Structure 1
């Protein structure tokens, strides 16, 4: 009889580091390019298409995430993870070699295709190697890396562009990715997995269409096209039709991309709701607070990023604490309830920020919001891993990553519409037609604002403050919904075993009552 996984020594810190490197790559590359874009466009041209350098990456990453997760479940998580790193690195090198904007967009799409498997692959392998009861610390590190990469990405991108060349924004991925390949390839040993099941191609195609349409809707709505224009209405209808058809296909598919059985577990479903809403609140706040810092407080891009450090530190501290507390046997249900309340209070506290508010006060207030979001995101990840059966670990990781990505994209789009509307309204009220023209412009930079007449400058700063207030009201509403949803979570003991045996596929969980099985392990763990 083979010895069970729970009796094997836990993976070394070096192995965990190799998995976390993939998460660093995926998250950092979504934000690092922003500060390099002006230089890239200046050299390659194609100003009218530059936004697609970012959009192409996000689109293919979101579309491929659940497909990578399911491929790992069917054909082996280690191999799937290594393949995604390889595709990502090839795309990174090609991006650095791009000679025009069209090539760069195409190579960014390839890079995103690989990036979709980095986060989900790392989560699935952590879920395979460690049971949820022991994975809290590793998953809390993931919670630290997310805000650090989101806020640190623009700073690193600016530094590499200024000190070296914009192409190093992409080349820097190569040594990090190579280290991850070596560590995971040489040190992780998992049983080979072969499956006769086929990937759900129909489901993958419908999900791709739905996500593409939804992302374009969020990208174009209220900016390129009016929210009620035929183009946006058509995208909304296409999104609804594709996702409705996707649900029907998944209910019938032998091996669905997103198994409907996952959502029969109430805790799993609630964890996805928390992930979606918290992702929208986090990215929405992190995207529009720098606007206030730069336009109202006159900060540079680098300094405005540094002034968001309290937001990041609040998230990091909360997630590290929760990971350690749960890892020592603590309960987890109270954390998302407290997190929803604290995040709501933090959002409302930022409504006190105005044109005359001291920069230090504004920066400090973001800490409260960050701590609340940290108390939401870490338990959601733990609940997801605990609620999914071992055979669905990749699909569960892919689902939570996908929902966080979609939540963030929609949060930025919808809250951005609120921000723009409040800004335009203030400018029109104060300046009349001139304000309306100013609100519709896209070339006004913080530096250019200082050259405008005093009344125009004051009106714009008031408009930005009003826009931030609109964003914070929306963020508070999202956080209040997480507070309500968190009360429905049940305190289910975390599994103390992975449920897999070294001699069998990771999907094969020990049946309850078998020798070596945990009383809280097995297919029914976490089921309501």
Structure 2
């Protein structure tokens, strides 16, 4: 499965046809990963209900995947700078599919969380390596055009995934386990397509060491802090020895990680790249966008099913405005960026629209009209489509080809980290508000607290709860969801500030930074060469 060392891409620019053939495999890989994740998102309320899991476990089914994806993304990116990108993409998707199959056989919520954690290792590879491979084929100026295809696949996976997940869960002869199994045949097709179409140069360097210590310290530090967030306020108090121990340990581990990264010969998060203004601001914006997007949208399926009483299939249909916004905005902004060569205006506009969308959703409850919620979701989708991929593009434009893997994976790392923190923090906030609301409403109605699932039945397993309790639980989830979107809006404001501080960026028309510098010296107007001329 190793890539040839002297492909056409190494000799000159690839033609549009060659790029599209290679992209077909890469985008299919991305589709497998994204659709597998979105299929689960809609089915998760029923999955956790059938396994009698808790709201905390609901959150950790998502958090576990994001956490391991976050921890391994920098390693995948660094490996991509050293070894065959094609081989690494194929390994990543195999790991992801194996995790999916194991998850499908899970018998408890704990087993499902463990399987999803393994699955996240492959997801981290797919997310980082697809971006790296595209960057190795296409100059930044032209990449805006092809990012439209990337956004289209992303939207197709995120629109079709929830719908497919809902249909699978609602089909009695399939069941929720097929939400995990169904990706396997698509993955096999993706592997075959990649083997035939993806040909990238392989740069081999001797005596290179991967900074596993740094990656382990980062993962351990973040994990300890997220575990603390999940249980503080419910299992122990904010001001307690457990809080001081966990927060202190997490901060010490992260400080050690920074120390290790500053001294490592091949750090997984290169500090010299992170310190660059464009990269630092892109990281800050990605962190905020990731926290807001992942932290907010992951609970929409739960809101529609638990808070409003819709079936999984109906919940999938109701999320279409969000995904349509991503599709339309990513496609249009990608075309405009290729035409103008400027990326900052679209990132700024995207983050502002994202804040507006979350602000609209922050006032919703269990009786809010669906048209209003749909409008808010559409704005969130437009904001994500205009900002998320373009933040990676801005960073890729500032680094040489030899560092493209580390730079791309660093931005993806912090975006995933933001998503992990967002899901964990907002999930904990949601769980606490729901618990308090259910407890007070049960007491007011004169219903014993154990009737809400305090015994063997989860409060998410509504079918097993009395009608009176079902109404209380639905209202509690519906009313609490708006509060987490308010927090998402506040977090997304950080992304607006970071994007406004960007310098004006003109995307280069060459794949490598060194070539761009030579072209600029030889031809002063090289930066303004039309993209169409470059592609010919």
> Of the candidates 1, 10, 15, which is equivalent to residue 9 of structure 1?
15
Question: Which secondary structure state, in structure 1, belongs to the residue aligned with residue 391 of structure 2?
Answer: helix
Which residue in 1 is equivalent to 2:94?
86
> Of the candidates 161, 166, 171, which is equivalent to residue 153 of structure 1?
161
Cα distance, 1:55–1:190 mapped onto 2, change above 3 Å: same
- 1:331-384 deviations in Å (ceiling 9; x for gaps): 221222222322222222234434543223322332123222322223212212
Which residue in 2 is equivalent to 1:191?
201
CA distance in 2, matches of 1:373, 1:102: 32
- 1:185-204 deviations in Å (ceiling 9; x for gaps): 22222233221211123212
1:248 aligns with 2:255: no
Checking the alignment, whether the CA contact within 8 Å between 1:323 and 1:378 is kept in structure 2 is no
Gap regions ≥5 residues in structure 1 = 501-508, 523-528
Cα distance, 1:169–1:268 mapped onto 2, change above 3 Å: same
1:477 aligns with 2:483: no
Cα distance, 1:285–1:166 mapped onto 2, change above 3 Å: closer
> Of the candidates 432, 445, 452, which is equivalent to residue 468 of structure 2?
452
CA distance in 2, matches of 1:146, 1:225: 40
Matches within 5 A, 1:478-493: 478-493=491-506
CA distance in 1, matches of 2:404, 2:233: 37
Cα distance, 1:428–1:360 mapped onto 2, change above 3 Å: same
Which residue in 2 is equivalent to 1:512?
517
How far residue 139 of structure 1 moved from its aligned partner, in angstroms, is 2.4
Which residue in 1 is equivalent to 2:384?
373
Which residue in 2 is equivalent to 1:21?
28
Which residue in 2 is equivalent to 1:443?
459
1:73 aligns with 2:81: yes
1:111 aligns with 2:119: yes
CA distance in 2, matches of 1:42, 1:70: 40
Gap regions ≥5 residues in structure 2 = 1-7, 528-536
How far residue 160 of structure 1 moved from its aligned partner, in angstroms, is 3.6
Question: Which secondary structure state, in structure 2, belongs to the residue aligned with residue 32 of structure 1?
Answer: helix
1:293 aligns with 2:304: yes
How far residue 71 of structure 1 moved from its aligned partner, in angstroms, is 0.9
How far residue 99 of structure 1 moved from its aligned partner, in angstroms, is 8.1
Cα distance, 1:272–1:431 mapped onto 2, change above 3 Å: same
Checking the alignment, whether the CA contact within 8 Å between 1:5 and 1:497 is kept in structure 2 is no
Question: Which secondary structure state, in structure 1, belongs to the residue aligned with residue 194 of structure 2?
Answer: helix
1:125 aligns with 2:141: no
Question: Which secondary structure state, in structure 1, belongs to the residue aligned with residue 467 of structure 2?
Answer: coil
Checking the alignment, whether the CA contact within 8 Å between 1:343 and 1:372 is kept in structure 2 is yes
CA distance in 2, matches of 1:68, 1:151: 28
Give TM-score, length-normalised by structure 1: 0.83
> Of the candidates 373, 383, 394, which is equivalent to residue 405 of structure 2?
394
Checking the alignment, whether the CA contact within 8 Å between 1:207 and 1:242 is kept in structure 2 is yes
> Of the candidates 136, 147, 150, which is equivalent to residue 139 of structure 1?
147
CA distance in 1, matches of 2:298, 2:109: 25
Aligned-residue RMSD, C-alpha: 3.8
Checking the alignment, whether the CA contact within 8 Å between 2:29 and 2:187 is kept in structure 1 is yes
Paired positions, count: 510
Checking the alignment, whether the CA contact within 8 Å between 1:422 and 1:466 is kept in structure 2 is no
How far residue 12 of structure 1 moved from its aligned partner, in angstroms, is 3.2
